[in-house]
Amino acid sequence: MKTKIILRIISVAVLLSVFASEVSQNSASAVPSKKRIVAAYVSARPKISPDPNYVTHINFAFGKVKRDTYDGVTIWGTKRLREIVALKEQNPNLKVILSIGGWGAGGFSEMASSDSTRNSFIEDCVRKCDEYNLDGIDIDWEFPGSSASGIKSSLEDKDNFTLLMKGLREALGKKRILSFASNASGKHANWKDVIKYLDYVNVMCYDMGRPPFHNAALYKSDMVRFSTEDAIEAHISKGIPAKKIVLGIPFYGHGNKKLKVNDYVGFRELPNFDQYEHKWDSTAMVPYIVNKKGEMLVTYDDEESIRLKCEYAINRGLLGVMYWEFSYDDSDQTLTKLSYETTKNSKKTSRKK
């Protein structure tokens, strides 16, 4: 027991040293608290909604590129979208954005490949903003130049993506938001050409591993293939200013399918695993669950790991955090409130345990 306590104390000491270094490097470019973003992705299916006082932005998922014609946007769940927009009555500062795309959502390559369909799509995006009182568009094309999700792609996708962002920026104007959901590697855009058109980039720092590897580790360990820090540095190295990066956090984990655990395990489902041992990777700064044989059953995030990621975002000078997906939170909206309170209200550069 004493050994575990000593190891945890050492872990915290190392973490505080890292945070202090990050603050020293980034204090001049720190984003003021009032400008920090805490964005929730909310899908059409769940009937529950986030407390509007604990988010700054809601990305409604998803709109889709019109099938066959590729010249517009189809929204599934318009009634639900109107319910989300109505949350502005409780928080007039809330921004509601239509996220278009998602994993396996096709039509982007076809739409962006010609001036005609691309311009028609852009015009429809503006119409949707007007019709539903939306504050902007989030493009979730996963991912330009890649067919990994089973969608069509081409060698011209990156260049056409730049044209799409340019056209959307011009059509939406300066007051509406334009963002892009980028995967952890940051390899799917010509960032030097694109970033000037975007208000910010939502970096999806999750799905970076499945058991026996961590889903969304903050730092590298021997159980990590790619970390949150790797993802953020990959984007900054491509010329994206830290103040235009929003760090993505998962409200879910991945189960070990070989051990007959569901692939997706929401935070609200964690009590189902109380009979197993919950462990902490003091290098990666994330928890995980093992069986009696020591095999990883679930890789997930909890209050502690999410608090550390929010603090990392502040100390690294990022614009804020976002999370996928709100409905994975528990009924008390524990992670929703924690993400907001830490990101918006914390003025500390390190955290005590």
Question: Average pLDDT of each block of 10 consecutive residues along the chain (353 residues)?
Answer: 43 45 47 96 92 98 97 96 98 98 97 98 98 98 95 97 98 97 96 98 98 98 98 98 98 98 98 98 98 98 98 97 98 98 74 39
> What 3-state class would DSSP assign to 3?
helix
Q: Please give, one letter per residue, the 3-state secondary structure of 77-133.
A: CHHHHHHHHHHHHCCCCCEEEEEEECCCCCCHHHHHCCHHHHHHHHHHHHHHHHHHC
* Cβ count near 273 (within 10 Å): 18
Q: What is the pLDDT of residue 29?
A: 65
Q: Are 338 and 265 in contact (CB under 8 A)?
A: no
Domain count, the chain: 1
Q: Checking DSSP bridges between strand 264-266 and strand 136-140, what pairing results, if any?
A: unpaired
Tell me, yes or no, whether 32 lies in a domain: yes
- Helix 303-315 and helix 334-345, axial crossing angle in degrees, nearest 10: 20
Q: Are 62 and 76 in contact (CB under 8 A)?
A: yes
Tell me, yes or no, whether 277 lies in a domain: no
Domain residue limits at 84? 2-252+303-345
What is the DSSP secondary structure assignment for residue 200, as one 8-state letter? E
Tell me, yes or no, whether 322 lies in a domain: yes
Tell me, yes or no, whether 352 lies in a domain: no
Tell me, yes or no, whether 296 lies in a domain: no
Beta bridge partners, 265, equal 253
Q: Where are the alpha helices (DSSP H) in the chain?
A: 2-26, 78-85, 108-112, 115-132, 157-172, 191-194, 228-237, 303-315, 334-345
Chain centroid to Cα 211, Å, comes to 21
CA gap 50, 327 in Å, rounded: 9
Domain CATH code at residue 74: 3.20.20.80
- The b/e string for 115-151 (b: 16+ C-beta within 10 A; e otherwise) is eebbebbbebbbebbeebebbbbbbbbbbbbeeeeeb
Q: Note if the pTM is more than 0.85.
A: yes
Tell me, yes or no, whether 131 lies in a domain: yes
Q: What is the pLDDT of residue 4?
A: 42
Tell me, yes or no, whether 341 lies in a domain: yes
Tell me, yes or no, whether 278 lies in a domain: no
Beta bridge partners, 288, equal 279, 299
